[in-house]
Structures are given as C-alpha cells and as structure tokens.
Amino acid sequence: MFSRFFIERPIFAIVVSVLLVVAGLAAMRALPVAQYPEIAPPVVTVQAIYPGASAEVIESTVAAPLENAINGLPGMIYMSSNSSSNGVVQIQVTFDIGSDIDIAAVNVSNRVKQVESRLPLEVRRQGVTVEPGSSAFLQVLAFYAPDGRHDDLFTSNYVTLNVLDRLKRLPGTTNVQIFGAKDYAMRIWLQPDRLAQLKLTPGDVARAIDEQNAQFAAGKVGQAPIGKGQDLVYTITSKGRLADPAQFAAIIVRANPDGSSVRLGDVARVELGSRDYEFNGRYNGKPATLVGIFLAPGANALAVAESVLQTLDELQPRFPEGLGYAVPYDTTRFVRVSIEEVLKTLAEAMLLVFLVVYLFLQSWRAAIIPFAAVPVSLLGTFAGIYLLGYSINTLTLFGMVLAIGIVVDDAIVVLENVERIMREQGLPPRAAALQAMREVSGPVVAIVLTLTAVFVPIAFLGGLTGELYRQFAVTLSISVILSGFVALTLSPALCVIMLQHGERTPNRFFRSFNDWFARLTSRYVDGVVWVIRRAALVLSVYACMVVVTGLLWLATPGSLVPDEDQGFYISAVILPDGATLERTTRVVEQVEAAVRSNPANQDVVAFAGFDFIGGGFRNNAATIFVTQKPWHERETTAPELVGELFMKTAGIREALVLAFNPPAIFGLGTAGGYEFFIQNRGDGGAKRLQEVLQQFLARANSDPRLGGAQTLWRATVPQLFVDVDREKAKQAGVPIDEVFAALSATLGTYYVNDFNKYGRTWQVLMSAEAAYRKRPEDIQGIYVRSGNGEMLPLAALVSVRHSAGPDSLDRFNNLPAVKVIGQTAPGISSGQGIAIVEEIAREVLPVDFSFDWGGSSYQEKKSSGAAGFAIGLAVVMVFLILAALYEKWSLPLSVLLALPFGTFGALVAIWAKNLIGPHFGAAPLTN
C-alpha cells in the first residue's frame, strides 16, 4: 500500500510536503505577474515614410504593394494599415495566438524585401522598417519643465540621448518610444524669392548640400604593399559631414565667374530644429515629452514597472535643472489592485474553510490535518505553473480560490475514516490510519481522476477562449492532483501524530451546535421522504427548472472579458477637416480644464496631433488619457466620469469630443466596445466608401440597443489640386520631375541627406520659410529653370484649384476599408452588440461591400459558443469517468441531474449582481 510508507515515516511525509511548499515559494519569486494570461495576439508592424505624399499616393504606391506581398503568411489572422497625409504608412500584421513573434517578423521581413524594389525611390531612401510590435501598453512617462525653461525640442532630444537607451535595455521591455519625437534635424528654410532673383532652384540647393555635406574615405599614405624603407603609415583625414548651422550656411550653392559665390545662407535660414512639428505632448496642461513603455511577452509587469521607476530615479540627479518627470499612466496600478483583491479573497476563503472544518470536527488537532492540505497544495501549484511557463494572474489565482474548497475534501475523507475506525473499533491512531487508507485510497484516487478529467480537456480548447481557460483549468488540475497526493501521504501521517486515542467530550457550544444540526438533518430526511412520495410533482418542477435555466442562459449577457473600472479612461478630440495643430491644441486645453474640474481625476495626458483610435498622426485629432485617483480615494467610477465629460464638453462647438472606457485587455483593440471594419470590394474610391459609411452610421446610431457608433475618418478634407500642363512644361524645357521636386522642396519636407552630432545621425531637411507656404497663392511664387536658363514661375505651368479628399486611408485584409468603433447600450453585452451590428450591416451595406471584425470583437466572434462547448465537454467527461468507476450507465445520470440547479443558482447570482455570463462567467460552472 502506497500510504503505508508515509504512515510509518511521518517525518518523511512532512519533509516531502515542506519541499513542495519551498518549491512553490521559490517559484512565486520568479513567476511573472499580470492581470490576464498572455492572450493578446502577436503583432508585427511595418512602417514606411514617403515625405510630402498624399494619403492616396501612399496607399496606392506603398501600402497596396506591401500588403499584396505580406498577405497569406502562415498564422496570419488579419492585417490592417493606415496611410496618412503626413507621409507615413503603418501596416499591422496580426498573427494567431501562440505564434512565435520572432519567426513571424522574419517572415514579414522576407515578404517586404521581395517587393521593396518596386517602392518609390524616396521610400527606399527612408527605409522600410519591420518590427515585432507589442500590444501590452505598460506605462506612459512624461518629461516636462514645470517652470517652462526647456522647450519641447530640448526635452525630447535630451530624453533620446540620455534616457531612452537605458530604458530600452531593461529586461522585459519590448519597445520604448517617444510619441511624436522631435528628433534634431538641420532645417534649411528656403526663401523662394531670393532663389528666383539669383536664378537658382530648390534642386540646385539640394545638389549643393548633397555634394558638400558628405563623408569620404581618402585612404592612407604608406599603406602596404609598398617598397622597403617605409617606416610610417599615415591615415588621411579631411572635413566630411558638417555638424552645425554655421557650417551648412557656408555651403557654396554657386560659384560665379567673377570669383564671388552664392552661399546657402544667402538664400535660406539654417537652424538646428526638429524633424517633425506635427505633434504636441501635454501633461496636466504643460508641454511634455511623452514616452511609451511596452511590455515583452511573458514579462513580469510589476517588476518591469518597478525597474523603470528605479532607472528614472537613478538618472534624475543628472537631469538638467528644471527638468522633471512623472508617470501619469501606469497599468500596473490596476494589475496590483486586482491581484491584491484576489489574494484577499484567497485569505478569506482559507479562513472560512478552517472555521467550517473546525466547526464540524470540533477539535483543533483534527482541524489542522485537512487544513494543512491547503497551503501545501496551493503553494505547490505555483511550482507547477512555473514549470509550464504560466504567470500569476487573476485567472490562476481565481482557480486557487476555487480550489481551496476542493483540496480539503480528500483530506477530510481520510480524517473522518480514521476517526470512525478509532471510535468504532478502538484502534490506536497508527493502526486506524493503516486500515483507513486500505479503505479510502481508491476513492481518493477516483476523486482526483474525476475532478482532473473535468478540467484538463478544457485546457485544450483553441483560440482566445482556450487561452483564457487554459491557465485556470491547469491551475485547478495541479491543485487537485497535489491535494490527492497530500491526502495519501501527509494526511494519514498527521493523523498518527495529531489524533488522540479515547473519547472527546464536546463543550457546551458544540453540544448546542450538534443538537441543532441533528434536528436540521432530521428535517432534511423528512423532506427527502416527502419528495420521494411525490415524484410526479418533483419531476414537473425539475422540468420547469431546466426550461427556466435554459432561458436564463440565453438571456444572460455574454462578454469575452468584463469591462471594469481600470482607473483611467480615453478621450478623443476631432476637429473639422483641415484644422491646424494649433487649433487642435486650443481645444485640448478646454478639454483638459473640463477634466481637471473634477477632483476624482488625477492626471491628464494629451497627445495633440495623434489619433490613437484610428491610428496615425493627424493635425485635427487628439487623444487624451485621463487617470483617476486610487479607488479608495474616490466614489465616482470611471464610466461615470466618461458620461460627465460628455456633458462638460457639449458646449465646445469647434470639435467633437468623445470619451470611452479602455479595452479590457490591451492588444485586443484600442478602446472598449466593438471594432468594426467596412470594406469596399468595388470601385468608387473614398467618395463611395464615405457614402456607404454614412448610411451605416445613421442606421447604427438610431438603434437604441447600441450606445453610438463613430469613426474618425473623413473623405472630404480640404485639399488643393495642382494640375501640371505637361505640354507647356515640355515646350519650356522644364522636366516634369523638376516641377514636383520644386513643390516638394518648398511646400513639403524634402530629405536631402544626413549629418552627425552628439554621436548620432540626424537628417538634413529642406522646406520654404513659413511666410512662403501659408496661402494657396504661394504655389505660384515657386520658380523653376526653363530650357534656356531663364526662371519660370509655376503659375505659367500649373493651375491650382480647391478640392477635397481623405487625409488618411485605411485598409483591412488587403481591401480599402474604414474602421468604426462603438459601444453597446447599458444592459447589452458585447456579444449581443456584435450580433446587432452584423444585422445592421447586412441590411445596409451594398453587395459590393463587406464587413469584418478586429481586436477583441474578432476574438469574441471567433470564440462564440466556446463557453457552452467547455461546459458540455466537462459534463461528458464527468459522465464517462463516473460510468467507468461505478460500471453503470444510469448512475452518472442521477449525479448530473443536479447540474441545472447549480447552473440556475449561478445565473440568478449573475443577474442579481448585474454581472457578465459567458465566456468569463462560465469557468466556475465547470466545477
């Protein structure tokens, strides 16, 4: 008999259990900590830059070829892209859960290389980057000058040069980036009128810079092979790349025959400025440089956040005077509180289990025996989940909370049988333990097999539902297996040590309790007899119960993961099409004032010029993160504050201000609610897409079951169409590419080449002074050189007219698309919302249009029905195990008849507390 060895060697049994506890404690220190398991799908990001190009040009010449090449990669589930008029295209390729992100990035990079030669020259000069992205947004850091002594340019570059590299080297970070980084650039601000007077073009300036700001390898004097007698080798050095504005201003653009020269400073203003001026970061109303920290898969969120703070504390003494930092957004606040709440529940459950065991066993010696199984089983479970590569998260801890009541069962079976034998047969503890284990070893093993058989199959479910359930199910299974091991080893050994031979006399309290419980048992027996005699009535009630339970199940709101008050919310600000960044910043200041008027809000972080929801940089959009004070310091919830912001900003006429809860799991969308794509499979371009979009939005926003549908995309942004008369240009001897080069170098941001400073490489960029690019009429003031050497104004070659078009274009799964985000009405779950939106889409969308889902909506749609399948699988496994144990097909049915009662109770509790059912609420029902 397996247990005999441990009964005869109780110290050995205790040592084995202590080793399990020690292994669990050691594993706890090494286990990563997170709110949820690693369930966000891997994402690879492809980015290309085409300076000065419109959204349509970037989409057709860059995004479409890249997507055509990338499409169809192994493991890819969907792909989205955003092409914006600021010259940037970003493609996000999302892979199935469990895919190796490094292999996925290599596959994407290989496909990009195949098509890179077909991309425009300017795109190839800038380079196409492929990076394994991270959807786990950990923190936002704000670097700012409280007294305003440092501007954005200085702060951003100080962080780049002195802080960013340290943070990137921290273990557990996969990406650290400055939002809208204002990297140094040598800005050449041209004066077109001076160029025309001197008969120069922007192309002449660019060629002069390219020629004189270059690095050359001049070689060596005396380098082998050489004749005998050479004693020294001299490396030749010379002035190569330039480094400061004065050196660039001295560049000779043209040398005249009379010995004079035209230098760059004669036709342009040169300064060390910023590469980009289309973003403003703000922290609590002050300009700030905002840095995002992204968590690597499997990393410990709490440890990484702590290491970030420690690194900043180390660097802060070296900060320039007047420069400070803050951490206005930190996801670990909510993670820490969530874990603490579950641990608190775990402690409360352990205390209640001990009290209940003590109440019925009525001996502290006896109560210790089953209770000892709790820490051994639970702490040993940590060692198991460490070996499997899992993390400490709300689901694994939730499994442990549920396991507390299970792990004591086996030990109680052993203890009660030992006490019964001691009482009835008068045997001493050792002999009673040996006899008891001969009787109950089989049932204990059967209990372990039955419970494990329920949970283990659930761990093999695929998709996001499988990822959610897997760690919960495996945690429970490990706990149950360890509890069975403890019941066969430690529990009988403790019975030998702790139990005393002889009768125990209960005290007055326990005598009263025993009398009351005996009366309760008697009444219960009478009730059972009454029920048995009225079988027809009971079966009728049971049938009604089954029907009601089924109806409750269908009516219970379902959600992939319930929305919670995470301690912050997101606001989006949208101004009219074509609005400048200056106007956007003014509106952001009004929204900041509205937010800060409520003391429940703690920090306000604004990304002016960045569309966090739609993706990409836009002058007329802003995103605001509003974090609240700790939960115990406020009575107002984040969803209530969202509604309050809508009311407080309703008077802002210049912009549309939206607010919404964050996604329950970052990486499954950018906001709470649903994420829906309308795809154009036909012709008509952006105009046709806009028409269909408006029809869909009108129908969706009129449905009371939905809380509103929005999009930040517009197809009618003010634009200017420049029509080049190609025939006139040819007659005048002006190459067409010279016309567009002059436009790009004057009105755009023309990349010339690079320079070195502070140990880094920066770009040399050319544009016209602001005064020469304010009005549409300024286009006609640009000059090009004709074939006879005379300067010709563009007014003679082009016509300019006002037009409208999109400032950004989205694609989804290689089709032109537009993203719609929205919320459901109160009382409507996300699962119901998906069905409603699909119903509207089928009703409204033309035949040449389709729709698709992204983010958490895609995963929930894919996982629909998985909760019912999980429960059904558990029921089947219980039936099969019980049939195998009892060698009867009918007996398991009587056990499973109790399932509707348990399910009914769970669903009533969900309704009473206004909670969420499947998928998340289905996990405990498997027990």
| Cβ count near 237 (within 10 Å) | 8
What phi and psi values does residue 252 have, to the nearest 5 degrees?
Answer: -85, 115
| Statement to judge: residues 645 and 733 lie in one domain | no
Cα-based angle 180, 185, 191 (whole degrees, multiple of 5): 115
Cα gap 217→671, rounded to integer Å: 53
In a domain, 678, yes or no: yes
Residue 13, token pair as written in the block: 């049994």
Give dist(CA 54, CA 61) in Å, integer: 11
Domain extent, residue 66, equals 41-134
Instruction: Tell me: do 685 and 748 sit in the same domain.
Output: no
Among candidate residues 389, 418, 387, the one with its CA nearest the CA of residue 482: 387
Judge contact between 90 and 69, C-beta under 8 A.
no
Distances in whole angstroms, Cα of residue 51 to Cα of each of 58, 122, 123, 612: 10, 8, 8, 21
Task: Report pLDDT for 875.
Answer: 79
Is residue 762 located within the same domain as residue 843?
A: no
Q: What is the CATH number of the domain that holds 348?
A: 1.20.1640.10
781 Cα distance to chain centroid: 48
Instruction: Retrieve residue 737's tokens.
Output: 């590419």
Model confidence pLDDT, tens digit, residues 434-493:
888 888 888 888 888 878 877 766 666 666 667 777 888 888 889 889 988 998 999 889
- Look at residue 909 in the predicted model and tell me its pLDDT: 73
Alpha-carbon gap, residue 385 to 34, rounded angstroms: 14
846 shares its domain with 867: no
617/697 same-domain check: yes
Q: How many C-beta neighbours within 10 Å does residue 500 have?
A: 12
**C-beta of residue 511 within 8 angstroms of C-beta of residue 471:** no
Task: Give dist(CA 59, CA 66) in Å, integer.
Answer: 10
Sequence-ordered strand ranges (E) for 22-72: 43-49
Whole-number Cα distances in Å, 599 to 588, 630, 716: 19, 12, 39
pLDDT at 70: 94
In the numeric block, which tokens belong to residue 211? 């020629």
Taking the C-alpha atoms of residue 587 and residue 589, their distance in angstroms, rounded to an integer, is 5
The pTM is what?
0.79
Length of the chain: 927
Residues 252 and 123 in one domain: no
Residue 403's SS3 state is: helix
Check which CATH number belongs to the domain holding 787 and give it.
3.30.2090.10
The total of other beta-carbon atoms located within 10 Å of residue 555's CB is: 11
- Is the C-alpha dihedral spanning 602, 605, 606, 612 positive or negative? negative
The amino acid at residue 503 is E
| Alpha-carbon radius of gyration of the chain | 35
Strands 568-574 vs 674-680: parallel, antiparallel or unpaired: unpaired
871 to 509, 625, 927: CA distances (angstroms): 42, 39, 9
- Mapped onto helix, strand or coil, the DSSP state of residue 768 is strand
- Asked whether residue 155 is assigned to any structural domain, the reply reads no
| Angstrom distance (rounded) from CA 802 to CA 474 | 64
Name 763's bridge partners: 185, 754
Name the residue type at position 630. Answer: P
* pLDDT recorded at residue 672: 59
Closest CA to 24 of 486, 334, 451, 424: 486
- Which two three-digit tokens encode residue 530? 């009454």
Q: Where are the alpha helices (DSSP H) in 507-629?
A: 508-533, 535-555, 581-596
Cα(517)–Cα(512) distance, rounded to whole angstroms? Answer: 9
| φ, ψ dihedrals at 2, nearest 5° | -60, -40
Question: 758 by DSSP, 3-state: which?
Answer: coil
pLDDT for the residue numbered 349: 77
Same domain, 441 and 555: no
Q: Which two tokens stand for residue 426?
A: 């008068």
780 and 835, same domain (yes or no): no
Which of 112, 134, 156 is the last residue in one of the domains? Answer: 134
Structure tokens at 451: 């419970």
Q: Are residues 194 and 123 in the same domain?
A: no
289 found inside a domain = no
Residue with tokens 């939905």: 706
**Does residue 230 lie in a domain region?**
no
Of 869, 38, 899, 915, give the one whose Cα is nearest residue 395. 38
With beta carbons less than 8 A apart as the criterion, state whether 160 and 183 touch: yes
For the chain, the domain total comes to 5
Spatial separation of the C-alpha atoms in residues 779 and 691, rounded to whole Å: 32
Helix or strand holding residue 292 (H, E):
strand 286-295
3 state SS for 73-140: CCCEEEEEEEEECCCEEEEEEEECCCCCHHHHHHHHHHHHHHHHHHCCHHHHHHCCEEEEECCCEEEE
Three-state SS letters, 867-895: HHHHHHHHHHHHHHHHHHHHCCCCHHHHH
d(CA 621, CA 608): 7
Q: What is the CATH number of the domain that holds 53?
A: 3.30.70.1430
Domain identity same for 637 and 587: yes
Which stretches in the chain have pLDDT values below 70?
A: 1, 133-136, 456-465, 502-504, 554-563, 613-615, 664-672, 863-868, 870, 911-927
Instruction: Give the bridge partners for 220, in sequence order.
Output: 235
| 653 and 700 inside one domain | yes
Q: Checking phi first, is residue 186 left (phi over 0); if not, alpha (psi -120 to 50) or beta?
A: beta
667 and 792 in one domain?
A: no
Q: How many CB atoms lie within 10 A of CB 149?
A: 11
